[in-house]
Structure 1
Amino acid sequence: MTDADEGSDGTAFAGDASPSAAALEPMREALVAWYERDHRAFPWRETDDPYAILVSEVMSQQTQIDRVVPAWESFLDRWPTVDDLAAAERSDVVAFWSTHALGYNNRATYLHEAATQVVDAYDGVFPKTPDELQSLMGVGPYTANAVASFAFDNGDAVVDTNVKRVLYRALDVTDGAYESAAGALMPAGESRIWNNAIMELGGVACAKKPRCDEAGCPWREWCHAYQTGDFTAPDVPTQPSFEGSRRQFRGRIVRLLGDHDEMEVDTLGHRIRVDYTPDGEYGREWLRGLLSDLDDDGLVKIDDGGDRVTARLR
C-alpha cells in the first residue's frame, strides 16, 4: 500500500489507484445509480426526521441491524417525537433499552439527555450542522455527521468501518488518508444520497467477504482489489480464499485488457492461466464464459470475427 498522493483533480487518493479527473464523475454516477436501483429497505432511510434518525444511529452502535429495526419502530411508537422522549421518565427509557437487548444502557441515558437538550436549549428544533449536533449528550463526530447528512443533507463524507474497507480495497487508500479520500469522492452538497450509497456498498458488495459480482459492485471497473485479487482490508487481516475462483480470473482479464487495446482470446487465455489449452477443460469455452460475464457487467466487449475472436475493455 502507498501513502495518499494529491491527484491531478485536486483530490487525495493512493498513488497508482488514483482515479483520473475523468473517471471520478463516472464513479460517482455509477455508485449512486447502483444504490438507487436496489438497496436494503431500512425504515429510517424513508424519513428526514432528525429525531428518528438520531434514534436509529444510537441504536445501531454495536447492535445487529436485525434487532434494531423492531426496536426502533417500538421506540418511536412509544415516544414519537423529541418532546415525548424529553418528557419521559429516564428509568422508562433505560428499561426499554434493556428489554430490547440494545446493550450499553448508558446510550439510553445519553439519548434521553440529548432530547432534553433539544427541547430546552434549542426550543425543540434540532441543530443542523455536525459541529452543533456534537453539543448533544453522547453525540460524537460520526453520529453528528450521520444525522446532519441523512436529516438535513448537510454533512461531510461519512467514514465508518464499511467505508474504510471500500476505500482501502477500491482505491488503495491507507490509514491517515480515509477522511480526505472520502471527502474528495463525495459530490458537493449530496451527503444524504452519497453517504447512504457508499455505506451500502461496504455493507452489501464490499463486506468482509466480498460479493463483487454477486452484488453487481458498480466500481469493479476501477477497483484495485478486484483487479489484483487482494481483498484484504483494515478489518480483514487475512485474504479470503479466492485462488482458482472465477473472480480471480475475471480480475486478471480486466487487468490485462487494461494494458492492451485488444487481445485475441487464445492469447488472453494463455496469459491468465498457465494450463490454458483451447480445447481443454480450461479452454475457449471456459474463457468465453468469463468474458460473457464481464460483457454482461458492461466491462468487456467481445468482437467475434469468425476465425479471429478478440476482447477489449469497453
Structure 2
Amino acid sequence: MTAEAREWALPDDSETVRDALIAWYEADHREFPWRRTDDPYAILVSEVMSQQTQLGRVVEAWKEFLERWPTTADLAAADRAAVVGFWSDHSLGYNNRAKYLHEAAQQVETAYDGDVPESPAELQELMGVGPYTANAVASFAFNDGDAVVDTNVKRVLYRAFDVPDDDSAFETAARELMPDDRSRVWNNAIMELGGVACERTPRCDEAGCPWREWCTAYASGDFTAPDVPSQPSFEGSRRQFRGRVIATLREYEALELDTLGHRIRVDYAPDGEYGREWLHELLTDLESDGLVELDRNDDAFTVRLKQ
C-alpha cells in the first residue's frame, strides 16, 4: 500500500509526533512489574497471563508464578497438573494456556539450550506463542520487535489519524510510526495511550493525551472506533467451569461423571440442560487440550487429571 494509493495519511512531522508520545509515557505511566525487567521468560509469562485477563489481576499471579517457577528450567521440570492448577486457582482464563506455557518452557530447555529465542519468527516456534505474543516478547525483552498492533493501538490509530478499520492499514500505520530501534519504549507507550487516554470512553484532557493537536477525533468530537467485542463475563462461563473441573480433580484421584457434575455446579442434573451431555462436551474439550483423561466404560466413565 503506497502513500499515494491510500486515502489516509500520518502527520508530516512524524518525528515530533513520536517524541511527544515517548515523552508523555516516560513522564508518567502505569507501573506494572513486567515493565521493569527485560527477562524474556518473565515477559513471556506476563504476556500469556494477560490474554483476556485484567492486568490488575495478573500482577499478583505473575509474581507468585515466578516465585514458584523462576526460570524456564524450573517450569519445564514442574508437574503439569501443578501448573494448570495454579492457572485455575488464579482465574487466568483457559487452562490450555498453562499447558502451552509449560510445553514452551520445555522447548526452550531442549531446543534452545535454556535461552529464550530473540526474534519474532523463532519465538513463534514455541508452543502457544502467536504473532502478537512473539512480537511483544521480542520488543519488551530484546528491543527488537515490530510495531505491536492490539485493540488499543487500533483504536488510537483509527481516531487520531483516520486509519481505516483494516488490519493491513493498521499494521502499515503502526510500522511507519514506530521509530527505528525503539520498539520497547514505543510499543509500551502507544499501548499505554490506548489503555489510559484513548479508551472506549476517551479521557483526552484528563490523561493529558500528547496527540491532541494532531488527533482528528479530538478536533471533530467524533470518537467512534472499530467495534471491539467486550470480554464475556467470567461468572457462569465455560472458562469458569473448566477451572472448577481442574480444581476439583486436583482433590481426588478420579471421579465418576455425575459425582463431578454435582461438585462443580449446584444446578447439575444428569438429564437436564446442564447435565451429562453438557459436562461430557466440557470434558471432551479438556481431554483434547491434554488436561484430563476419561476412562470410558460403555455410557459410564471416570475422569482424572492427566499427569
Please give the TM-score of this superposition, normalised by the length of structure 1. Answer: 0.70
- In 1, the alpha carbon distance for the partners of 2:11 and 2:6 equals 8
Match of 2:140 among 137, 146, 150: 150
After TM superposition, give the deviation of residue 223 of structure 1 in Å: 0.4
Match of 1:27 among 17, 21, 35: 17
Q: Name the residue aligned to 1:88.
A: 78
2:219 equivalent to 1:227? yes
Tell me, yes or no, if the aligned pair for 2:10 and 2:173 is still in contact at 8 Å.
Answer: no
After TM superposition, give the deviation of residue 29 of structure 1 in Å: 0.3
- In 1, the alpha carbon distance for the partners of 2:228 and 2:97 equals 28
Q: Name the residue aligned to 2:3.
A: 6
Question: Which consecutive segments of 4 or more residues in structure 1 shift more than 2 A?
Answer: 12-15
- In 2, the alpha carbon distance for the partners of 1:57 and 1:13 equals 33
- In 2, the alpha carbon distance for the partners of 1:182 and 1:14 equals 16
Q: Name the residue aligned to 1:102.
A: 92
Larger Cα Rg: Structure 1 or Structure 2? 1
Please give the TM-score of this superposition, normalised by the length of structure 2. Answer: 0.72
Match of 2:208 among 209, 216, 223: 216
Distance 1:204 1:67, change over 3 A: same
Tell me, yes or no, if the aligned pair for 2:139 and 2:184 is still in contact at 8 Å.
Answer: yes
Distance 1:173 1:134, change over 3 A: same
After TM superposition, give the deviation of residue 65 of structure 1 in Å: 1.1
Match of 1:138 among 128, 136, 156: 128
After TM superposition, give the deviation of residue 236 of structure 1 in Å: 6.1
Tell me, yes or no, if the aligned pair for 2:151 and 2:228 is still in contact at 8 Å.
Answer: no
- Deviations along 1:117-159, one digit per CA (max 9) or x if unpaired, are 0000000011100000000000000000000000000000000
User: What letter matches 2:132 in structure 1?
Assistant: Y
Q: Name the residue aligned to 2:281.
A: none
After TM superposition, give the deviation of residue 50 of structure 1 in Å: 0.3
Q: Name the residue aligned to 2:10.
A: 18
Q: Name the residue aligned to 1:171.
A: 161
User: What letter matches 2:3 in structure 1?
Assistant: E
- In 1, the alpha carbon distance for the partners of 2:33 and 2:6 equals 34
After TM superposition, give the deviation of residue 66 of structure 1 in Å: 1.1
Q: Secondary structure at the match of 2:160?
A: helix
Q: Secondary structure at the match of 2:181?
A: coil
Identity within the alignment, % = 73
Q: Secondary structure at the match of 2:105?
A: helix
User: What letter matches 2:74 in structure 1?
Assistant: D
Segments of 5+ residues of structure 1 without an aligned counterpart are 238-314
Query: Highest relative contact order (Cα 8 Å, sep 6+), 1 or 2?
Result: 2
Q: Secondary structure at the match of 1:6?
A: coil
Match of 1:207 among 190, 199, 218: 199
- In 1, the alpha carbon distance for the partners of 2:213 and 2:22 equals 15
Match of 2:181 among 179, 189, 203: 189
- In 2, the alpha carbon distance for the partners of 1:13 and 1:202 equals 24
Q: Name the residue aligned to 2:56.
A: 66
Q: Name the residue aligned to 2:69.
A: 79
- Deviations along 1:44-74, one digit per CA (max 9) or x if unpaired, are 0000000000000000001111110010000
- In 2, the alpha carbon distance for the partners of 1:14 and 1:161 equals 22
Q: Secondary structure at the match of 1:147?
A: helix
- In 1, the alpha carbon distance for the partners of 2:228 and 2:66 equals 36
- In 2, the alpha carbon distance for the partners of 1:126 and 1:96 equals 22
User: What letter matches 2:203 in structure 1?
Assistant: R
User: What letter matches 1:56 in structure 2?
Assistant: S
Segments of 5+ residues of structure 2 without an aligned counterpart are 230-307
Q: Secondary structure at the match of 1:177?
A: helix
Distance 1:83 1:168, change over 3 A: same
User: What letter matches 1:99 in structure 2?
Assistant: D
Q: Name the residue aligned to 2:257.
A: none
